[in-house]
């Protein structure tokens, strides 16, 4: 380890400050462009020790658990709480612009759709059983140390209010000292709490956790991986007024406002299409909204999610026909022959993107495509395939669904 003073030139794709040195770039968390910082350095990683100059864009973090200035420790849940709104928003939009430029794609990039503190309805925390009880919080950056948290400004108040209850459940279920994860989601009927990576609890622990959950009025369900431990009420979510029962461990967009913004863009682009394919459809985030005006074919590999979508569509009023297909689009993408009767395609894949499917879409005659992604790098790779196949990229809209992080959502709209 060496100690030196560096000047921060930019914020990198992971949210760290970047200093240029003769030995190459050094990445320093919790710093800002223009700051002169004394760091302890190990290879390309730096730890800020003191500041000779600070940026005018530096603001007080909203959370006491954040960063080296926080009193509770360097929580790794956020990386950019210390940055003023405007440069932070410019950075988020710039992630998408830079990704497009890396593939020489010229198009309109809309202003960033922003989000606010207290909107996250889904958080995943880390936990560990210690001699003093369960520690519940977020992993420190570049570390396996869990920083315990008592509050979280990005999370909905409904989550923060029940952190003590979640810790009690974890204490009843956990055994050994291995770390585990717990995902907490807000639904209309209460919290859906799902544990993963726990050592399999015995019957006594299961009963203790069940008894605790029965006494927690704000918790609708407790799950272990994809198994239901106890469900006092079915966790419900609504997509444009259509109620859906969430399967255990199912994916839900992190904020309702971002989900609505994405859906509005997709629906406006699809327009009056009579038949739409929704790829990587999940529980119906887009399918059930699109079905207000179009017949929808929902394609998804996750069987419980697809079943939840199907059940919701069958019991909803005022929808056009919704058909379903269980299919692994990574290994068996839909071919041009499969797509010939559809007017529009929507796809929202995992971070890996939809490369194989885009090669087939590029050979199809589908008139409109709406591409949704949480990873600008794989999104731009997929857009390049579609553009090479004859599609015109009309617009890209970045959406800040992941507040104070280096992650950004985007919706790209294409026409043949």
Residues of the binding site for S-adenosyl-L-methionine: 253, 280, 300, 348
Phi-psi category of residue 73: left, alpha or beta, with phi > 0 → left and psi -120 to 50 → alpha: left
- Cα–Cα distance, 313 to 242 (Å, whole number): 8
- E strands, 75-216, in order: 122-130, 133-139, 146-148, 180-187, 190-196
- E strands, 254-407, in order: 275-279, 295-300, 322-326, 344-347, 368-373, 392-399
Matching residue, tokens 């003093």: 132
Closest CA to 157 of 220, 218, 244: 218
- Cα–Cα distance, 165 to 280 (Å, whole number): 34
CB 287 within 8 A of CB 294: no
- Collapsing DSSP to helix, strand or coil, 292 comes out as coil
Chain-centroid distance of CA 20 in Å reads 31
- Collapsing DSSP to helix, strand or coil, 289 comes out as helix
Per the annotation, the verdict on 358 as an active-site residue is no
- Cα–Cα distance, 259 to 238 (Å, whole number): 11
- Collapsing DSSP to helix, strand or coil, 194 comes out as strand
Catalytic residues: 374
């Amino acid at each position: 380890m060496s100690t030196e003073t560096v000047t921060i030139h930019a914020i990198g794709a992971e949210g760290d400050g970047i200093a240029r040195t003769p030995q190459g770039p050094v990445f320093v968390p919790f710093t800002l462009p223009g700051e002169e910082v004394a760091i302890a350095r190990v290879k390309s990683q730096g730890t800020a020790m003191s500041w000779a100059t600070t940026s005018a864009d530096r603001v007080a973090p909203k959370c006491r658990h954040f960063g080296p200035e926080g009193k509770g420790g360097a929580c790794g849940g956020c990386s950019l709480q210390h940055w003023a709104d405007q440069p932070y928003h410019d950075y988020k939009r710039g992630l998408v612009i830079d990704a497009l430029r890396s593939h020489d794609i010229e198009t309109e990039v809309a202003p960033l759709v922003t989000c606010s503190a207290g909107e996250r309805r889904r958080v995943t925390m880390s936990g560990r059983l210690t001699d003093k009880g369960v520690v519940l919080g977020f992993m420190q950056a570049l570390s396996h140390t869990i920083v315990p948290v008592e509050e979280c400004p990005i999370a909905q108040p409904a989550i923060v209010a029940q952190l003590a209850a979640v810790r009690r459940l974890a204490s009843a279920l956990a055994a050994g000292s291995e770390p585990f994860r717990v995902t907490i989601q807000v639904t209309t009927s209460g919290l859906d709490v799902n544990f993963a990576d726990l050592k399999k609890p015995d019957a006594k622990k299961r009963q203790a956790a069940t008894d605790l959950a029965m006494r927690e009025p704000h918790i609708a369900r407790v799950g272990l991986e994809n198994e239901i431990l106890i469900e006092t009420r079915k966790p419900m979510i609504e997509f444009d007024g259509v109620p859906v029962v969430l399967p255990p461990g199912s994916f839900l967009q992190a904020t309702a406002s971002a989900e609505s913004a994405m859906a509005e863009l997709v629906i406006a682009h699809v327009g009056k299409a009579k038949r739409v394919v929704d790829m990587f459809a999940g529980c119906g985030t887009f399918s059930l909204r699109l079905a207000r005006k179009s017949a929808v074919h929902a394609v998804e590999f996750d069987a419980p999610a697809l079943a939840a979508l199907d059940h919701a569509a069958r019991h909803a009023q005022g929808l056009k026909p919704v058909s379903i297909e269980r299919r692994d689009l990574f290994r068996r993408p839909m071919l041009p022959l499969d797509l010939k009767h559809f007017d529009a395609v929507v796809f929202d894949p995992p971070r890996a993107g939809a490369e194989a499917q885009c090669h087939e879409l590029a050979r199809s005659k589908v008139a409109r495509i709406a591409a949704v992604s949480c990873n600008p790098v794989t999104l731009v790779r997929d857009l390049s395939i579609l553009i090479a196949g004859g599609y015109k990229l009309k617009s890209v809209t970045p959406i800040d669904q992941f507040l104070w992080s280096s992650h950004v959502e985007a919706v790209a709209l294409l026409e043949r």
